[in-house]
Amino acid sequence: MMKLDRAYSAVLFDMDGTLLDSRVVIERILTEWAVANQVDPDALLAVSHGRRTIDTLKDFANAGTDCEAEAAKIESAETADVRGIIPVPGAVELLSRLPPKRWAIVTSAGRDLAIKRLSAAGLPIPEVLVTAEDIEHGKPDPSGYHLAAKKLSTTTDQCLVFEDAPAGIQAGMNAGSDVIAIGCASPTNTKPACPLISDFEAIEFRLT
């Protein structure tokens, strides 16, 4: 059990791979897109986690591809497909204990997709939900975390961030927050640049 000494004003969570496990859906739909567009699925999946779909497609799409239109199609397919989405152990219990104005979600998913996945996993919709539509630059840019902290009337250096993907972990660190990586639902096996726990049953922290 990891016990954190300092107290925080708020807690900021990533969604996919952190609060919920959506690997089967993401891998299924992105693989289908990659095959249809003559892109190596393994290469695409290796760098897609934790990033906005539009950012990943810009790195892999063939010349002349309308990346915004393709990203919208993928997002629509993901919103319609919630088969296999489950909460990370301890997430439901933790969120039920946190005061509504002391936590937020910062996700690279779009708002409709985020709400659909949170509902499918039996997780509450937070009062502050920062999604792909709310920011100009996706993770590892820290702007999403700065926006969430501002909406919670605090600053990122007073927040605890839970993440799982390299891009998200870097975003939290770039924001000046303490970052904890969740490992049980992440598709990556790389050693994170921050402390790592399996799930939310393996940590204790407190709020100010």
DSSP letters, 36-86, are HTT--HHHHHHHHTTS-HHHHHHHHSPTT--HHHHHHHHHHHHHH--TT-E
Whether the bond into 87 is cis, omega within 30 of 0 = no
Beta strands at 178-182 and 20-21: parallel, antiparallel or unpaired: unpaired
With b for 16 or more beta-carbon neighbours within 10 A and e for fewer, the 1-32 pattern comes to eeeeeeebbbbbbbbbbbbbbbbebbeebbee
> Which residues are tagged catalytic?
14, 16
